[in-house]
Amino acid sequence: MMKIKQSVIAFVCIAGMMPFFTSCEDWGAMDPAAGTDVYPTRQALTTLSFAGLDSLEKAEFVSDYKGDVGVVYDDSLYSEMLQLGEGGYVQIANPLNTVKLQSGTGITFWVRNTGEADSATDVVLSFGSDVESPLCQFLANGTLLVGGNEVEGLDGEFVKDSLYFVGLQFNDNGYQFYLDGSLRSENSSLDWSSLVSELNTTPYLYIGDPSNKGGVHVEKISVVRNQMTAKDVERPTIKKGAVKLPEPVYFNNFNKGEGDATIIGAGSIRDDENEYFGKVFQNVAGAKSTNYLKLPSHVLSHSAETQEMTIGFWVNAVNAGALNDYTYSPFFSAYSHAPAGDNDAPMFVLQSRGPVQVNNDGWCDFTGANHVDGKVNIYHNNAWEAGDANYNFVRNWLEDNQWHYYTITLKATEVVQYLDGVVTNAWDLDGQSEGQIITGLFNNGAALNYVALGGNQAWNWGDPDAGFAFDDIVVYDKVLTQQQVQRIIDVKNGTAVDDEPDDSEKVYVEVGNPECTDGFWTVFSDVVQLKDGQTAHYGFYNYTAGANNWENWVLICTNNGGLSAGADTEYFVLRADAWAWGMGFDSPGNMTSDYNWETFTADMNGAWVDLTAQRKSNTITVTAVTTTADGKKYNMQYVYDNATADACGLYFTLEKAYLKFDPEQCFVGQKFEKGSYLVGPADCTAGWWSVFSDAYDFAQGPETNMPFVFHFINNNTGVGANWNNWLLVCTTGGGPGNPENFVLRADAYGWGDANYNGANIKQSFNWDTYVADMHGAECWVAVSHAGTTVKMDAIQRKADGTYMPAYSYFQDNISGKVGFFLTAEGASLDILDVAYYPYFSKMGQ
């Protein structure tokens, strides 16, 4: 199975929609013609995203912006977000102007309040004819204002620096407010028909406001016509991607010698013994203002616009001598002139012992008074500072003579120092008072044109140049996050690679070949069986040769539970272009769609298809929601009324197409709306052996290649015991009270009958973070019964989108009927589906 990297990620998985149907226009050119058009009650109009942007100029949907606005990378969302600083706002053409609202509209978005904003007044979103006179506003504390008046019941003030997913639904009868998928407030007794009408015609959507104090980040704003679905407001899973770094304004790894730097004195480029470092700059100790690496004069001249800066480098003291030899030697210093033996401005110094000094049109010595902990960490204990209350003495971090990574991030009111990715000093500045001003470093950085790494003690003290070794000196005109700093360290140490897959790379199950040359009825997906009361769900990308409308996916349903054995075994064969045939097929009466036939072949290439086949008694309803690569959505529905077989076979073929199925999105069984099937109360107070899921019995099977899966969100308090999570119980049939083959806890502990064997448990969890990892984790707990062996495999994805280590157990000598159910202690399980997963073995990769 090959890994395929997607260049375009569409919004997907909007299910459960039942549109009202009406014929609107001719079908257009297709062979053969069939069906009618759809007038949908729900329509996704647009998604505004800042992902991948480094400036607003590249966001084509932005019509105007003013104040302090920009794009910033968010290392929790693994994406860029719109950054709203003081007075910053963005004007966007109202997407609701392009349609006629039937009853209302919905909007969803990610938001983070960094804590700098005044949450009671700062505006996140608003609609209006101008930014000063909005129809309605959503504030950074979770409050909704309509006509300037606060709507009662919205009390969800956001926790500082937390990331939230917000959903707002407006309709003629009032509103609903969702936070991370939960309904926080609603009012269905308001007459908002006039507001809905005005939202339909007002010209602009605004993000931010000129009166904002700043500190709000926003991303992925989706606007929906009329009524949203439960899937719309559900908090999306954040899949971990490679942590992205901005482009540096200067970088030198010495692989080509000193490059654009100049060696002053007796230093040299040498080969390091550590394979990950290669060539490094080795300074020479003993003199003063004599040995150092002079960097290009422009290094500090790039932050006037951003008002931010990050400096990082690797350093090793193996050749620097004894600790007392380099106590006050700086790592990095910058002046407007060569060493002159005096202490004058402008200057900027990073010392190896920890302190920082800036004196450039404003100055700061970064004392304990400004330190977040009240004392500055000093990396020695042999000097006059030993008796100073401003300092906290810490063991010298260089004394092990190993490579360490130093980073400092600077902005007007906050300076953070990292040693090996850990915050060691942090200062909060007001940016205005004497001794707390460093903005001259950004505004006048070009004046600091004599920049030295490893020496240049330009003041008149007698501290020597130190014999430090350096590698990978880098300067950014942006502040890095701690996760970005750690990324640099991981890449250098070989624990990550520069081309680490991002959130768009995963394993797909492929049907057909990428060249789209397979003929009709030549390649097939695996078969699943669809029984009464079950739903089959598929999520896949569709690619097409594009010459004809029918060169796309084809769904086959048989009456024998397996592959077609001829026309008399086919209930229906359904094509993507709304055409079908089979036993009892009636077209177009049982087929509806809203495709644009003039663009259909182009629309289907690279489109995401969310397809469900729901069976109730003899009726199978197939709904396909297609999202094109550029974000357009189309809907098709087909109803078949004569499925009398106990188990219908369901599978795909194609013609000159290529399908890529997402293993997580392919299953057949029972699907549940989020929050509708809880095992244990939502407050996680369930006692031992007090709450249970339904029990599921199997006379034989489930098969190993298509296991039966409990798919749920594992909710715990995040701080409890390791066992405050899910438990799986295997019985000889039935639920609680029946004989147990084994009971298996989420934390890799179990018990059971004489055949239970704890040695059969396989896992590699991090027990230091386990409870927090399981907090909100999405879990797929799969069971199978082959021969006399029952096996459990758990795939678990943390709330941040990263996967936990694999967890499995098997038990032999189990024959006859088996039953499975879930219980919980001090936890609550939100079951999403219980189903067979044909591609379970491909998940979590």
Q: What mean pLDDT comes out for the span 397-425?
A: 92
Angstrom distance (rounded) from CA 789 to CA 202:
65
Could you please report the per-residue DSSP string of 270-284? Answer: EE-SSTTT-EEEE--
3-class DSSP assignment, residue 815: coil
Place of tokens 């406001």: 209
* Contact present, 11 and 44 (Cβ < 8 Å): yes
Same-domain check for residues 645 and 678: no
Total domain count for the chain? 4
Could you give the CA distance from residue 630 to residue 626 in angstroms, rounded to a whole number?
A: 11
Report yes or no on 771 lying in a domain: yes
- Interatomic CA distance for residues 48 and 776, integer angstroms: 27
The answer to whether residues 467 and 571 belong to one domain is no
Residue type, 149: N
Range of the domain at 640: 507-667
CB atoms within 10 A of CB 683: 9
Instruction: Give yes or no for residue 458 having a pLDDT over 80.
Output: no
Same domain, 581 and 598: yes
> Are the C-beta atoms of 809 and 792 separated by less than 8 Å?
yes
**Is 736 in contact with 790 (CB distance < 8 Å)?**
no
Pairing of the two strands 469-476 and 250-252 = antiparallel
Report pLDDT for 152: 60
Residues 663 and 688 in one domain: no
On whether both 685 and 651 belong to a single domain, the answer is no
Is residue 75 over pLDDT 50?
yes
Residue 5 lies in a domain: no
Between 748 and 142, whose confidence is greater? 748
Determine the average pLDDT of the residues in 29-42: 38
Whether 73 contacts 246, CB under 8 Å: yes
| 3-state DSSP of 394-449 | CCCCCCCCCCEEEEEEEECCEEEEEECCEEEEEEECCCCCCCCCCCHHHHCHHHCC
Mean pLDDT of 493-497: 65
Here the tokens at position 220 are: 């992925």
299 and 318, same domain (yes or no): yes
Q: HSE on the CB side for 452, CA within 13 Å?
A: 32
334: its two tokens = 């910058």
Co-location of 111 and 136 in the same domain = yes
Q: How far apart are CA 508 and CA 270, in angstroms?
A: 46
Of 11 and 357, the structure prediction assigns the larger pLDDT to 357
**Residue 215 covered by a domain:** yes
Q: Domain for residue 16, yes or no?
A: no
Amino acid present at 759:
A
| pTM for this model (two decimals) | 0.50
Helices (H) and strands (E) in the chain, counts: 6, 61
- Nearest Cα neighbor of 9 from 111, 78, 103, 94 is 78
| Last residue in a domain, options 439, 469, 493 | 493
Segment 386-407 mean pLDDT: 85
Task: Evaluate whether residue 6 is within a structural domain.
Answer: no
Does one domain contain both 677 and 649?
Answer: no
Distance CA 554, CA 570 (A): 13
Of 667, 691, 714, the last residue of a domain is 667
Establish if 533 belongs to a structural domain: yes
The SS3 of residue 57 is: helix
The DSSP secondary structure of 642-665, one letter per residue, reads ---SSSEEEEEEESSEEEEE-GGG
Residue 33 pLDDT exceeds 80? no
Domain membership flag for residue 396: yes
CATH (domain of 614): 2.60.120
In the chain, the largest separation of any two C-alpha atoms, in whole Å, equals 98
For residue 25, pLDDT over 60 is answered with no
Q: By three-state DSSP, how is residue 838 classified?
A: coil
Q: What is the pLDDT of residue 38?
A: 35
**Cα(184)–Cα(191) distance, integer angstroms:** 20
Output the pLDDT for position 110. 93
Q: Give 365's Cβ-side CA count (13 Å radius).
A: 7
3-state secondary structure of 625: strand
Domain membership flag for residue 22: no
Band of residue 831 on the pLDDT scale cut at 50, 70, 90 = very high
Six-digit token string for 591: 């087929």
pLDDT at 811 over 90: yes
> Which band of pLDDT confidence, cut at 50, 70 and 90, is reported for residue 157?
low
Which of 105, 137, 157, 107 has the alpha carbon at shortest distance from 208? 137
Position 405 confidence tier, pLDDT thresholds 50, 70, 90? very high
pLDDT tens track for 137-154 = 888 877 888 877 777 655
Which tokens belong to 818?
A: 């088996």
Query: Within 13 Å of residue 799, how many CA atoms lie on the same side as its CB?
Result: 18
Instruction: Please indicate, yes or no, whether residues 462 and 530 belong to a single structural domain of this protein.
Output: no
The full DSSP string for 752-774 is ESTT--GGG-B----TTTHHHHH
- Span between the terminal Cα atoms of the chain, in Å: 11
Residue finishing a domain among 667, 700, 725: 667
Contact 448, 300 (CB under 8 A): yes
pLDDT for 115 equals 67
b/e for 59-88, b at 16 or more Cβ within 10 A? beebeebebbbbbbbbbbbbbbbbbbbbbb
Distances (CA, A) of 794 to 380, 471, 708, 752, 840: 49, 43, 12, 19, 10
pLDDT at 343 over 80: no
Same domain, 288 and 167: no
Q: How many residues does the chain have?
A: 845
Q: What CATH number is given to the structural domain containing 326?
A: 2.60.120.200
* Distance from chain centroid for Cα 595: 31
Phi first, then psi: what are they for 482, rounded to 5°? -65, -35
What tokens does 585 get? 């097929």
Question: Which stretches within 113-217 are classed as H helix?
Answer: 193-201
What does the block give as tokens for 148?
């300037």
Q: Look up residue 752 and give its amino acid.
A: G
Using alpha carbons, select from 499, 505, 540 the residue that is nearest to residue 7. Answer: 505
As to burial, measured by CB atoms within 10 angstroms (0-12 exposed, 13-18 middle, 19+ buried), residue 718 is middle
What integer pLDDT is reported at residue 2 of this predicted model? 26
Asked if residue 286 has pLDDT above 60, the reply is yes
pLDDT (0 to 100) of residue 190: 77
3-state secondary structure of 252: strand
Q: Who wins on pLDDT, 39 or 444?
A: 444
Grouping H, G, I as helix, E, B as strand and the rest as coil, residue 175 is strand
Whether the bond into 296 is cis, omega within 30 of 0: no
Coil/strand/helix, residue 191 = coil
**Do 474 and 525 have their domain in common?**
no
Residue 730 pLDDT: 97
Question: Which residues partner with 828 through β-bridges?
Answer: 715
Exposure on the CB side of residue 174, measured as CA atoms within 13 A: 11
Give the integer Cα–Cα distance in Å for 368 and 370. 5
Q: What is the pLDDT of residues 79-134, one digit of tens each?
A: 889 998 889 999 999 999 888 888 789 999 999 888 655 566 788 999 999 888 88
Query: What are the two backbone dihedrals, phi and then psi, of residue 385, each rounded to the nearest 5 degrees?
Result: -65, -10
Say if residue 387 is in the same domain as residue 486.
yes
